[in-house]
Amino acid sequence: MWSKEGKEVDLRAFEAQSVMPIGMSEGIWNGMNLKPPLMYIEDARVVGLRSEYEGVPSLTFELREKPFYDEYDLHTQNYVASVNPVAYGEDEQVTFSYPFIPELNDFYRREVCRTDGVRSERNGLGLITDVRTDDLMIRAVTRRDLIINVFEVFGMKIQMSEAGRIALRVIQQMGGVQGCRVFKIAGVRKLIEKYKPLQSFTRGDATQIIAEIDPVTHVPNFTRYESLFIEPRETDKLKPHHVFDYLVKRNAFRVGLTFTCPNCELEFWTHLDDLATEITCEYCGRRFNVTAQLKDGGWSYRRSGLFGREDHQQGAIPVALTLQQLDTILHWKMVYVTSMNVEPAGAKIVPCETDIVIVSERDYHDDTVAIAVGECKGRGEITEEDVQKLTQVADAFPKDRIHAYIVFSKTTPFIAEEIARCRSAQPAGRKRVILLSDRELEPYFVYERAEKEFEIDSTAISLEDLANTTHALYFNPRPKVTR
pLDDT of residue 296: 65
**Angle in degrees, CA 154, 159, 162, rounded to 5:** 150
- Who contacts 48 (Cβ-Cβ below 8 Å, separation ≥6)? 59, 60, 61, 85, 87
- Exposed/middle/buried for 67, CB within 10 Å: 0-12, 13-18, 19+? exposed
Q: Give CA–CA dist 87/78, Å, rounded.
A: 27
In Å, how far are 42, 126, 169 from 69, measured between CA atoms?
16, 19, 51
Q: Where are the alpha helices (DSSP H) in 66-219?
A: 105-111, 143-153, 162-173, 186-194, 203-211
pLDDT of residue 384: 97
Q: What are phi and psi of 393, to 5 degrees?
A: -65, -45
pLDDT of residue 477: 95
Q: Give CA–CA dist 369/360, Å, rounded.
A: 6
Find how far residue 302's CA is from the centre of its chain.
29
**Angle in degrees, CA 297, 302, 305, rounded to 5:** 140
pLDDT of residue 415: 97
Q: Give CA–CA dist 411/382, Å, rounded.
A: 12
Helices (H) and strands (E) in the chain, counts: 11, 21
Q: What are phi and psi of 167, to 5 degrees?
A: -60, -40
Per-residue pLDDT of the chain (483 residues; tens, 9 = 90+): 777 787 777 777 777 778 888 788 877 776 667 776 766 777 888 888 888 877 789 999 998 788 888 787 877 888 888 898 876 655 778 899 899 999 999 999 999 987 768 999 888 899 998 888 888 999 999 999 999 999 999 999 999 999 999 999 999 999 999 999 999 999 999 999 998 888 889 999 999 999 999 888 888 999 999 999 999 999 999 999 999 999 999 999 999 998 999 999 998 888 888 888 899 998 999 999 998 888 766 788 988 877 877 766 778 999 999 999 999 998 877 899 999 999 999 999 999 999 999 998 755 556 689 999 999 999 899 999 999 999 999 999 999 889 999 999 999 999 999 999 999 999 988 999 999 999 999 999 999 999 999 999 999 999 999 999 999 999 999 998 876
Find how far residue 69's CA is from the centre of its chain.
44
Longest dimension (CA), the chain: 105
Q: Name the CATH topology of 314-475.
A: Trna Endonuclease; Chain: A, domain 1 (3.40.1350)
In Å, how far are 260, 267, 272, 291, 293 from 288, measured between CA atoms?
10, 13, 17, 9, 11
Q: Give CA–CA dist 355/336, Å, rounded.
A: 11
Per DSSP, what are the bridge partners of residue 139? 58
Helix (H) or strand (E) holding 324: helix 316-330
pLDDT of residue 184: 97
- Residue-range domain boundaries for the chain: 1-37, 49-141, 177-308, 314-475
Find how far residue 31's CA is from the centre of its chain.
32
pLDDT of residue 115: 73
pLDDT of residue 275: 87
Do residues 283 and 140 lie in contact, with contact meaning Cβ atoms separated by under 8 Å?
Answer: no
In Å, how far are 51, 180, 254, 343, 464 from 461, measured between CA atoms?
32, 20, 38, 31, 8
Do residues 105 and 118 lie in contact, with contact meaning Cβ atoms separated by under 8 Å?
Answer: yes
**Three-class SS state of 217:** coil
